[in-house]
Amino acid sequence: MAQNTEKSIAFLFCSNFLYFGPNLPDVWVPREHTPPHTLFPESLQCKFYDVNLKENPIAKQIKLEVADEIRRMKSGIGKFPRLAVVLVGDRRDSHTFIHIKLKACDQVGIETVASQLPENCDESELLDVVSGFNEDPDVHGILVQLPLPQHLDEEKIINVVSLEKDVDGFHPLNIGNLAIRGRKPFFVPCAPKGCIELLPRHGVEIKGKRAVIIGRSKIVGLPTSLLLQRHHATVSVLHAYMKNPEHITSEADIVVVDVGVPNIVCGNWIKKGAVVIDMGTNQVKDPSGHGFCVSGDVCFEEAVKVASAITPVPGGVGPVTISMLLSNTLDSVKRAFGMV
């Protein structure tokens, strides 16, 4: 099914390019003297990811766990998860991200069905597609690829997605339940969930630590701050209008960045021994002048000299984010059949 789905959409594929997009006003700008892309030394092994490996080991482990559960579900009750993907328009980054998601689903045994609408589609068309997937009992998860074209009400579309099938975790009730202590959302947004997943798997203590989130988007910044609070960290959230942000970040034990500005976080923003999670992914011109490359929001060459652990871009949080989508979809089908 995944292969047939891919044929129905004219995907543009660029491996390792995961785009979350800018989520702050253009107040902060990249430093002109910083190279737009940081190259990893061949001998460097990051504590979060060995750059000499072909696949992020944490993401690989999660995918293996998900695939194993799906195999046991199929053999036990003859059921399997199905994810519906809705794509509007022809944005290159959206097509790339969808391609990566569908490929990951196919690898673990999640069946996929896709609906692509033209850039100029009516809002009613999109609502009908989402509603149809809501009502389909064979669909256990729904993913509406963001961002949507400007003429469409993004919030309205997200609100229509069934709470029980909102595997992206963007429904206001899921976010609201995440914010209220003692309540449990059906789903946690994938990128923040992946961020938090990395820390304990590498023995990083969250409880009692000072954490700074740079960026306050609904996709990454806000839910990551809520998750860190749930793990009893003291959290500060910085935005584009914050003056002298380095005064705050330089006191943090954990720094999470997602602003969509290449290399904005310098080495002197980081406290010695801090843990740095770079969730920004930017497509920039390659310094060689040939095509494009991928850069994070953190200047890796500077930060790695002071941080105790840091995620690279690409290959760090991005693959784990995809694994969290697979995990959420598995949770959805298990809930549908009373297995949780």
Catalytic center residues? 101, 145, 168
126-133: long-range pairs with CB below 8 Å, 24+: 126/86, 126/88, 126/152, 126/157, 127/156, 127/157, 127/160, 129/86, 130/86, 130/157, 130/160, 130/161, 131/160, 133/84, 133/86, 133/165
Measure the CA angle with vertex 143, ends 137 and 146; round to 5°.
155
DSSP for 215-269 reads: ---TTTHHHHHHHHHHTT-EEEEE-TT-SSTHHHHTT-SEEEE-SS-TT-B-GGG
Distance separating alpha carbons of residues 298 and 295, to the nearest angstrom: 8
Q: Which two tokens stand for residue 146?
A: 């963001």
Helix pair angle (57-77, 92-108), 10° resolution: 50
Cis ω for the linkage preceding 314 (within 30 of 0) = yes
Specify whether the CB–CB gap between 87 and 115 falls below 8 A: yes
Distance separating alpha carbons of residues 99 and 93, to the nearest angstrom: 10
* 295: amino acid identity, one letter: S
Helices (H), the chain: 2-7, 57-77, 92-108, 123-135, 154-160, 172-179, 190-201, 221-230, 246-249, 300-303, 317-336
Q: Which two tokens stand for residue 260?
A: 């969509």
Closest alpha carbon to 69 in 339, 322, 321, 325: 339
The DSSP bridge pattern shows strands 292-295 and 282-285 to be antiparallel
